[in-house]
Structure 1
């Protein structure tokens, strides 16, 4: 089945925006880079507007800064110096010490290694033997780590393959998602940079220092755990915690097993099909995560209060008790050591401070989260509001959906900000709003193009009910589209369908069929008018109002109107013939269509009339009202075309007309002569018509003189003479009925034959 152009446009008005909506939802779930970056930019803005307030909970960074390198020498320092640093920290009251440094290579300053670089001489053997008898710096460092306790060393997962994996001290248990492995969700890397075995064996914890910046190089979230692609007997892939979380475990002297709760675990408030990590419990602290086990960092920004220069610790320059009950991370801010990161608040920040901020949040129980249901909620809101736009804009227009959409946009932004500021939840308002804007623009743009197309069709359609001359005139002179008018001599026509109520009753269950029938009727009738320089003023249901001689002059406009009326009669006959054949074919009842036409001439006011907001080119005047009344009287006189007296005078030599009556139509006290239009000039000049017209004229004279018998005799003759000329039987029946009434109830003696109409 082929769709019309308009039907296709209507379908596309829904399909194209719907396709855009579904594409936006698809891109959202694919997490394409630009979508993710858009979301991250919003969350960064929130953090810049309202960063986490800094609360000093005792997290300190022992900073291997430029000052320390200048006074104590270049990096790497001897492990004996680092051993002294650990000893001083623990002695000063630091509760836990975490290294943001990997000790992957042996200490070159160990005596046995230094002597290898000395020149060969006679004493080298003795010196080598003496050096080998001295303590190895790595072993000494490991003894200090073991002896002081509560020290966490670092692992850097990478793409570099290792023969043996780093030591896994903290283990993980998993609840929820039966049959799923933790490695199904978290990051898995093929290799790692690990500490020397002797150092690892001495540590209380071994942890990741990876911070995983986003695609734009900005750190926003950090993996709390990651796996190494290495198969260990009995346990499979080793999994390592991040530095801050391992320090939290060691600090609490918690069991080595930390619990990872997946989204399907018992007690999880899961209402979607999302899968992945939901939270990690370390001792008494539960840390919410995203599906891949990442923790969102709620930054305070760089705080100098966190930092203590390593050289100040080594030279005992710190005030007493300044490190008591602190949680210490050892890292570097020196630019040359390449541990600098970018965050939403700082373009350059030492990586160790990211771990410090995370540890602060864990100690405070302050967690910024993007709940697992956020993506589903955002997509559901996008779908529902998008469908509203898809279906509402074509019906309501662009304005009200825009107002509603703007309200929803402000509401979504407000809710998102409230969720962040009050509940520490990250809800993305921007991508749904941008997607909805795309859907709205597509819908309204298609609507605009469709409207413009309809306007073009309307301009084309003006030719169906306005004279082409008017369309051209208004196209050339649009300034004429203003309120006001002019008085012109015009011919007016009203045409109405007879018995339309009975016809419409047959279409109670098929209103579309009634519409098609009316269009099928009005189309040829309209063409008859327009082809003869007429203008359609308006359609009123099954009625047509038309006029001639405006806005441009039309010569012999009364003739054009009469010619149009006769053509309309012929067009109606053709249509009824077609409908009769269709009714017989479909075995359906047939009701013929009949019309009544009233035509009148006179001076009228014509022009653009209405209000400043809307006006129509129309016509007003007494002649218009009379034309309407004449059309209404056609059914009473049993003829289909009734002319006013002025029209009859103008066309009497070119059209076959007969006077119908002297009548005072309803609403008028003055009587007028009205006439029937029977045919064109050919009929007018036939002997049969002339004979009929003479008898008819005599009949009217006898009737008005109250010569009832003579009038009745002439009626009989008129019936005989009118055969083949026109359908006048109803007219003569009416006069016969009047005469019968007047015989029993005679009119006044001064009666002049005027009939006072009581109906329109």
Structure 2
């Protein structure tokens, strides 16, 4: 139990160490890689199918060159059946073929055919099957030689290898099971039987044919799950005995009939020693034939042999395989070349491969190479992909994979070695995609974080628009109708003095205050141009269109004032709690809370808005005369004692929906043309109140008398206005006092008959 706890701690510490130095993504990717390698070792069918498809592609791109070899096929083709008669032929006719082929110089003859039952065309069997024959004719037939005996006699005078076919079961479908004669062989290394393809039983030839044959070979071959015959067993286990396939048995007999040997190691079978050479095999004793397209040059029609139409010496020194290519006999097999081929020709090509040493090779160590390659390629991707740009990652991955695929194809092309390119490529490509996906998600998260942070400086609408159209991140602007807002804190010096010993608290306070203003602007889809200390500049109708920009600006301004008022009340409540604590500690100094008052100037007009600055640093901002006027109006709010001052253009847009009152005609600093300014006192609910409408009428009369220099009537209306505003709780005291003071000054120093009623402001 203690050892398990210690092991668990070690694994945990190792995992923590790996995650610290490589990151969780890499650690998980490495664990995924190990799982992928384990799957490859298990070699599920989809991977095997993909690997075989890769080898087929190689095979089809460069089939083996067709070179003359002493291998021929004695073919029962469609023409032979047409001339000689339907299949099966009498065994006497087969015996004639053996005799003639031997006379023509055939070294050995192998049958891709099994003669498992007695010939029904033997004379005695014909007499037996036809009881109505005349007695003398029947007796004569019975005295004639048996066809199977004739064939056995022909076998005895030649080197004939009979073919045997495997069956996959031992029960229920065999009338008789004959034990197989053992094949003389030796083993070099560990017992190879566990690695061999196993067949529990075989279909043998007639005993008299087996007895006179020079050899016995298995011509069974199993296709891959997709039905393609890619491998042929050179050696296999049948009835628990090691047996050769038809083609190696044919070669063994032709080269003297010496026993064969199977060479193996701990990884499986290395090869078969035959005719004084080692024929390399896969670990299960199979070989990968390197095929050429089907060629009629290998074939000799059985009819040509039997009717003496074959050129003399055509079979001299040849190893002959007897089989069928007639369409009706259905002995065609799918091949890696993508076309079907007669089974006997596949055996012939295997024999050619063995003799010319051109078999495709897939040594046991290729699996280790593929696993190591996968580990290295995926490891490089996992280690370096997070640090590389997408372009460099894709290009470097392409170069690595192309190099490996090129190496794999070169080994096939030049060395006939089959090295799988599919699994390493797929595994590496998967690693690239997964790491790229993780990188993309990480960058997307960082982009969101940057957009969120960037949105603290400018409008989120601007951030979204720039994200969709980065081409707008260039210098230049456009002319647009904007409504601009400037705000500033009244008496900021006194507030700063309050925090002279705690500048961090002042910073925190102003951040909270500016957040309140920013939220009000953002809620109305405004663009914050910049923060200037305690001041804010914002505008509407850029970058996104807003046909209601003047009203949206007024709504934002009213909310700013209301939210700042709430903020002041919260600060006062907090200060009261602090004062209770301060009374208990006489050493702590008494602190005073200064109320934050905001002045806002709003103006509407045609401006240039866009990216302004240098080619290395620029801001999205607005320029134009309306911008300057809005800034000056914000400054005038202090003089008139009102929170929100509107320019004439803005007031004309919104006065039908907001409580707007005319204040004055002023010539602000830096402008010659006077501007009629208004106060924004509230929303539509205030505008609809009859008492407010009365205030507007009285104020309009006061301004008219003032501009006509009727000082007595102006002062009388100021007194009336003082009374009218009381029920509404409008903060017009400073405004009224300003006009009383101004009228008093004008009585002493009259402006003259040409006075236009414009007040020339001397302060910004």
Corresponding position: 1:157 with 2:166 = yes
Structure 1 residue 404: deviation in Å?
0.8
Structure 2 Cα separation of the partners of residues 522 and 23 of structure 1? 54
Partners of 2:465 and 2:129 in 1: CA distance: 106
CA 1:612/1:35 → structure 2, altered by over 3 Å: closer, same or farther?
A: farther
Unaligned runs of 5+ in 2: 1-11, 13-18, 490-503, 522-526, 541-552, 579-607, 624-633, 642-764
The count of aligned residue pairs is 546
CA distance in 1, matches of 2:73, 2:506: 92
Do the aligned partners of residues 381 and 472 (structure 1) sit closer, same or farther apart at CA in structure 2, a change above 3 Å counting? closer
Pick aligned residue for 2:537 from 503, 527, 549: 549
Within 5 Å, give how 1:220-619 maps onto structure 2: 220-228=230-238, 230=239, 237-256=240-259, 258-264=260-266, 275-345=267-337, 347-466=339-458, 481-484=473-476, 526-533=511-518, 548-550=536-538, 608=611, 617=620
Q: Which runs of 5+ in 1 are unaligned?
A: 2-6, 231-236, 265-274, 494-518, 578-604, 621-646, 655-760
Alignment correspondent of 2:8: none
Identify the match of residue 172 of structure 1 among 182, 185, 188.
185
User: In 1, are the aligned partners of 2:71 and 2:351 still within 8 Å (CA)?
Assistant: yes
Q: Deviations over 1:133-179 (max 9, x none)?
A: 5432222211221222x211101112242654564464333223x4x
Post-superposition offset of 1:420? 0.8
Indicate the SS of the match to 1:371. coil
In the alignment, the residues of structure 1 paired with residue 306 and residue 465 of structure 2 have an alpha-carbon distance, to the nearest angstrom, of 98
Contact 1:464 1:530 in 2 (8 A): no
Within 5 Å, give how 1:59-138 maps onto structure 2. Answer: 59-119=71-131, 123=135, 127-128=138-139, 131-138=141-148
**Superimposed CA distance per residue, residues 646-674 of structure 1 (whole angstroms, 9 cap, x where no aligned partner):** x99999999xxxxxxxxxxxxxxxxxxxx
Question: What secondary structure, in the 3-state scheme, does the structure 2 residue paired with 1:531 have?
Answer: helix
1:300-339 superposed Cα distances (whole Å, 9 cap, x missing partner)? 1111110101111112222221211111111011111121
2:347 and 2:35 mapped to 1: Cα distance?
Answer: 39
Is 2:223 the counterpart of 1:213? yes
Q: What CA distance in whole angstroms lies between the structure 2 residues aligned with 1:382 and 1:12?
A: 21
3-state SS, counterpart of residue 549 of structure 1: strand
What is the distance in 1 between the residues matched to 2:220 and 2:427? 34
Q: Using the alignment, how far apart are the partners of 1:545 and 1:285 within structure 2? A: 93
Secondary structure of the structure 1 residue equivalent to 2:157? helix
For the aligned residue pairs, the C-alpha RMSD in angstroms reads 4.9
Shift of 1:200: 1.0
Determine if contact 2:268/2:284 at 8 Å carries over to the other structure.
Answer: yes
Measure, in 2, the Cα distance between the counterparts of 1:618 and 1:395: 36
Quote the offset at 1:76 in angstroms.
1.5
The 1:400–1:652 alpha-carbon spacing in structure 2 relative to 1, beyond 3 Å, is: farther
Q: Distance in 2 between matches of 1:614 and 1:98?
A: 88
Q: After the TM superposition, which residues 15-94 of structure 1 pair with which residues of structure 2 at under 5 Å, given as runs?
A: 21-22=33-34, 24-94=36-106
Match of 1:189 in 2: 199
Q: Which residue is 1:742 aligned to?
A: none
CA distance in 1 between counterparts of 2:73 and 2:106 reads: 11
CA distance in 2, matches of 1:195, 1:294: 24
Is the Cα–Cα contact under 8 Å of residues 464 and 526 in structure 1 kept in the other structure? no
Alignment partners' CA distance in 1, 2:508 and 2:287:
73
Distance 1:477 1:142, change over 3 A: closer
Q: TM-score, normalised by structure 2?
A: 0.61
CA contact under 8 A between 1:285 and 1:362: conserved in structure 2?
no
**Counterparts in 2 of 1:314 and 1:374: CA distance versus 1, 3 Å:** same
